[in-house]
Amino acid sequence: MTNYLLKRLGALLPTVAVPMVLLFVMLRLAPGDPAAAIAGDSATTEEIAEVRGRLGLDASLWDQFLGWLGRVVRLDFGDSLFAELRVSGLVFEHAQVTVQLTVLALTVALLIGPFLGIAAGTRRHGLLDRVLVFGSSIGIAVPSFWLAVLLIAVFGVVWQVFPVAGYVPFSEDPVLFLHHLALPAISLGLVEAATLFRYSRAGVLDSLHQPFVTTARSMGLPERMVIRKYVFRAAVVPMVTVVGLTTGSLMGGAVVTESVFSVPGLGQLLLTAVQRRDYPVIEGCIFFIAVVYVLLNLLIDLLYSLLDPRIRY
């Protein structure tokens, strides 16, 4: 087990390093010049060159890369090109918000998806099942930002029960915090709930016909117990993978949804940084996301071995 962990953590390095190097090269090759943005619209060529020199952007790509590499291996992404702020601080501050939003959205998805999936799967072809399957098709087809706009229109503008935008830190006021994040979390969570619904329903349908379920029935156990203790137990394992992937795509979806609701998360930070070609900030954000993705995958595999005794590392 320890060996396995060490091996997996070792493999983490290239998984993060390769996209980081690609990102470095692509950013520098992409059109757009941060120096020009910093110097302002009215700046002369000399002024832009001066800014470029100050930022070290006039060195050759190779020299820039070596310098960059030297800093990045120490997890130092430097300062933002536009403000005297450490990238690490910026990313940490914004990531907090995104993680909070992701967790809330995941909670929404987990509360709705698997529960309805089991309900529909055990009543296959019933009215409930058909309604839910139809509903989930819509949920999968609809992008979360569209749902976000719809929710804003209904709950924010027409009924005015939720604020349409903004963010209050949890430490300041937990109630306002939830109040502000409710709509973004629901709009993100509902879409993922539809996916979770589909997978859990399929998992239940599959497990219902497994021989070991027939055995439990042949032993005279009541159907409720068979479903709860035997069918569900088998259906839950493949769900872990889906939840893991879902969490990943939630973070991706959060980037867009954040900008709809003006939530100061990682998405907002990244979007602004890309617009301004703020290389260090972009790199910091992507680094964070890459590490989270890889750790999430590791976590899923570890969870798998906890849930399925046939898998041992």
Instruction: List residues binding another protein (CB under 8 A).
Output: 1, 3-4, 7, 210-212, 214-223, 225, 229-230, 233-234, 237, 307-310, 312-313
- 169 backbone φψ class: left, alpha, beta (φ>0; ψ -120 to 50): beta
Q: Residue 84: how many CB atoms within 10 A of its CB?
A: 6
Residues in the chain: 313
Least separation, in Å, of the C-beta of 295 and another protein?
Answer: 20
On whether the CB atoms of residues 117 and 200 are closer than 8 A, the answer is yes
CB atoms within 10 A of CB 2: 7
Nearest distance, CB of residue 193 and another protein, angstroms = 25
Between 51 and 226, name the residue whose CB sits nearer to another protein: 226
Nearer to another protein, 37 or 226 (CB): 226
Least distance CB 237 / another protein (angstroms)? 7
Q: How many CA atoms lie within 13 A of 123 on its CB side?
A: 13
Q: How far is the CB of 3 from another protein (least distance, A)?
A: 4
Read off φ and ψ for residue 86, nearest 5 degrees: -65, 135
Q: φ and ψ at 168, to 5 degrees?
A: -125, 125
Comparison of 1 and 30: residue with beta carbon closer to another protein:
1
Tokens standing for residue 222: 């009541």
Distance in Å, CB of 209 to another protein, minimum: 8
* Closer by beta carbon to another protein, 271 or else 300: 300
Are 284 and 91 a contacting pair, CB within 8 Å? yes
Q: Least distance from C-beta 226 to another protein, angstroms? A: 9
In this structure, what DSSP letter does residue 86 have?
A: B
**Of 14 and 211, which CB lies nearer to another protein in the complex structure?**
211
Q: Supply the minimum distance, in Å, between the C-beta of residue 122 and another protein.
A: 13
In this structure, what are the phi and psi dihedrals at residue 79, rounded to the nearest 5 degrees?
-105, 160
Q: How far is the CB of 213 from another protein (least distance, A)?
A: 8
Residue 52 to residue 45: CA distance in whole angstroms: 10
Q: Which two tokens stand for residue 157?
A: 């503008």
**Which of residues 234 and 271 has its CB atom nearest to another protein in the complex?**
234
Please tell me the distance from the alpha carbon of residue 117 to that of residue 122, in angstroms, as a whole number: 8
* Cα atoms found within 13 Å of the Cα of residue 184, Cβ hemisphere only: 34
Give how far the C-alpha of residue 270 lies from the chain's centroid of Cα atoms, to the nearest Å: 14
